[in-house]
Structure 1
Amino acid sequence: MAFDPSAFLPDDLLERIRERAPIHDLENTFPQQDLDELRDAGYLSILVPAERGGAGLGLEQAALLQQRLAEAAPATALAINMHLVWTGVAKVFSDRGVPGLGFVQDGAVRGEVFAFGISEGGNDLVLFGSDTDAAPTGDGGYSFTGTKIFTSLAPVWTMLGLHGLDTTSEDAPKLVFAFVERTDAVTTSDDWDTLGMRGTQSRTTRLNGATAEDAHIVRRIDPGPNPDPIVFGIFSVFEILLASVYTGIARRALDLAVETAKSRRSKRTGASYSQDPDIRWRVASMGLAYDALPPQIAALARDVDTLADHGPRWFTLLSGLKHRSVTMAKQVADEAMLVAGGGSYFSRNELSRIYRDVLAGAFHPSDPESAHSTAATAWLGPLDDA
């Protein structure tokens, strides 16, 4: 039987979420009601196996759902993405027999909200390094001190998945991936005042000895490029779900452009704008660009679900998917604004918000430079030593 996204995101729920989106954008607030309704609908545990109380969906199905949610409220979808990344990594682990993230699956079923604390200002190593200090506590746990940026779900998360660098243990240096709870050792700044994606409330998070107990230490690995399951898990799920969000945004922009072209009439000719050859060319360009992405997302997500082995090609495929989705969404939003005309320039217009939201895509890993560098190495080999 074909997967029905409306079973998990029914039309009436999406309509309520869509109605609230401009309010959160205008007021720069977190969409708490969206989260509450999604939690009540079991959305936080869609990637948790059925035997642990979740919906038992695969990454391919979750990607479809995130496209659907992004059509209604881009910022809500992007915020929820970060929680789904961790439940997706937990699925990658359990599917491959890797222990360590069962507590994430169980927590998601209980309604826990997991945030993503990897990004650091000026750290272009991303998963391969950290400026956050990870100090052993002596009982198997770690204490983390440092600053994380772009922490989506900042007002509401209950556990923060992060990484830090252990420089003092006998086998140091080691990158430590772990989860900390929200305590007085964690400070969330009220600094999220951005051009777009305002509802994500991806605020700066400061850690001052935030402690992760031994049971919440997920991996200790060598810094730098690493085939460890934590690196593959984060990179694959993050890139695929991110591509899904921006592809969903593009679909909404395309639909709005089509609606506008059909409803507006030319004073000069009296004909619908849908009959104007220039408008038709723009809409066709948008459709051609958009149509390429959903099948690519589905194919790569299915490969993760079925444990396909692309070897070192994985990183080119995944970073390329994210790059193409963001580039496509930006192109579609640009064209949609032109099709809709000057009315789309007003901030109250949904296309105006979409136009601002898609700009955030360029700042997520992998950025355009990293994606191109990865692809160049895959096709041409590494750079010669200087």
Structure 2
Amino acid sequence: MSTAVSAPAGRRHVEPLAAAREVLPVIAEHATGVDERGEFPAAALDALRQTPLMGLLVPREYGGMGGGLADLAAVAREIAGACTATAVVWAMHCQQVAAVARHGGDRLRARVLPRVARGEVYVASVTTERGKGGHLLTAQAPLVPAGVGRLRLRREAPICTGALHADAFLVTMRAGSEANEGDVRLVWADRSQLDIETRGDWNPMGMRGTHSVAVSLDGEIGPEDVVGDDFRTVALGTFVPAGHIAWASSWLGAAQGALRRTIGLLRDPRGRRQFDLGSDLLVTRLAGVRADLDCVEALLERVVGTVERVMARGASRAEVEDPAYQILVNELKVVAAERTHAAVDRLVELVGLRHGYLKSSPIGLERVLRDLRSASLMYANDRLLVANGKLALLDRTARLP
């Protein structure tokens, strides 16, 4: 999946997966504490900043790795095997970077992408609003003029992953006070441009390390900080597919890590005294878990390949609005959320109370199960299924694109 890429000045050449594996010990070391204390994985992110991976999707001409979505998927899966929250934080950062790299103006890209490539900038996403949830293609808070050549950004975000640790934000805003809610702009805001206030706490069941608190943002930006002219094309062409690939890869990597640890337990000589490996029930459950995760992996690879081909052709609005294309991208998120959680739930049943349910179990299924319970709620599966049902009525081919 990954290929050798050039590194920023002062860094040796390294492949994405090799870079990820170098920092896995740090990520794994802090995973339990991050979950127990509900704190942001700062040490893990600092370790990632020391690699070229923060600039994985930054083009080489700006000092980045010049990687693609296949690299994003592979690295997210690798990281998630050690810590799901760290994988999601990093992968969502890459989603933001992809939007700027593909749709930002020349001035914005020249200003921010080299800093991202050097690991200086972690980018958070602000798309949720009270009253509309995470609906991406609408916005309520308007951009308004703030003097000559400036725009005022005032935004309440009920949930923002890593908000208190971000160096910059991509924010959805209504185009103006007279614009309708469907006239959306995506804007870049450096932390130094904003006053930020925390509006709530973060104490969830799982994904505790994402530290997705509510925040209030207030500041001014320039017109060059607006990303793209047509947000619908930005969203459907880059933001949505990159986001669904980022999430699905993280969930799949977490579940595959759980399966690997479970198999290690079963194959261990001490484990063989506790489990009947000749049991039809045990091996049937194991086969079902493997089948679910293999199906998710196959769908992920199909979506990555399809999206990369569309992006390579320029991702016209007509192409990204094709019903079959949208259905496929949405299905990845829904299927990955459902099947990865179900697979880990079956692993808990397979190994039982001591090894599956207790927090003290060394294979860590309990934490992964809690983390993956959030998957269907992150941009709710129900919302995507409603959209896909309506899109299916428009697609007479009833086939994958």
Give the CA deviation at 1:244: 0.6
Contact 1:140 1:213 in 2 (8 A): yes
Give the CA deviation at 1:93: 3.2
Higher mean C-alpha deviation, range 283-292 or range 250-259 = 250-259
1:173–1:54 CA distance, 2 compared to 1 (3 A): closer
- Superposed CA offset, 1:191-237 (max 9, x none): 01111111111111112x3222222122455xxxx742344211111
Q: Does 1:7 align with 2:18?
A: yes
Distance 2:248 2:375 in 1: 9
Contact 1:219 1:230 in 2 (8 A): no
Give the CA deviation at 1:361: 0.6
Q: Does 1:378 align with 2:378?
A: no
Contact 2:2 2:17 in 1 (8 A): no
Q: 2:243 aligns to what?
A: 238
Contact 2:125 2:171 in 1 (8 A): yes
**Any stretches of 5+ residues in structure 1 without a counterpart?**
none
Q: 1:66 aligns to what?
A: 76
* Pairwise CA RMSD: 2.7
Query: Pairwise mapping of residues 183-198 of structure 1 onto structure 2 (< 5 A)?
Result: 183=192, 185-189=195-199, 191-198=201-208
Distance 2:92 2:168 in 1: 12
Contact 1:257 1:283 in 2 (8 A): no
1:174–1:227 CA distance, 2 compared to 1 (3 A): closer
Q: 1:26 aligns to what?
A: 36
1:236–1:123 CA distance, 2 compared to 1 (3 A): same
The sequence identity of aligned pairs, in percent, is: 21
| Match 2:132 to one of 123, 128, 151 | 123
Distance 1:125 1:290 in 2: 27
Distance 1:245 1:364 in 2: 13
1:263–1:275 CA distance, 2 compared to 1 (3 A): farther
Query: Pairwise mapping of residues 264-283 of structure 1 onto structure 2 (< 5 A)?
Result: 272-283=275-286
Query: Pairwise mapping of residues 283-298 of structure 1 onto structure 2 (< 5 A)?
Result: 283-298=286-301
Distance 1:266 1:62 in 2: 35
| Match 1:200 to one of 188, 210, 229 | 210
Q: 2:371 aligns to what?
A: 357
Distance 1:363 1:271 in 2: 36
Q: 2:155 aligns to what?
A: 146
Query: Pairwise mapping of residues 80-159 of structure 1 onto structure 2 (< 5 A)?
Result: 80-93=90-103, 102=109, 103-110=111-118, 111-124=120-133, 126-159=135-168
1:82–1:104 CA distance, 2 compared to 1 (3 A): farther
- Superposed CA offset, 1:337-379 (max 9, x none): 11121122222331110011001111212x2222212221222
Give the CA deviation at 1:266: 9.0
**Any stretches of 5+ residues in structure 2 without a counterpart?**
4-14, 314-318, 396-401
Q: 2:10 aligns to what?
A: none
Q: Paired residues, what number?
A: 370
Distance 1:32 1:359 in 2: 23
Q: Does 1:346 align with 2:354?
A: no
TM-score, scaled relative to structure 1: 0.87
| Match 1:217 to one of 226, 229, 233 | 226
1:189–1:169 CA distance, 2 compared to 1 (3 A): closer
1:196–1:323 CA distance, 2 compared to 1 (3 A): same
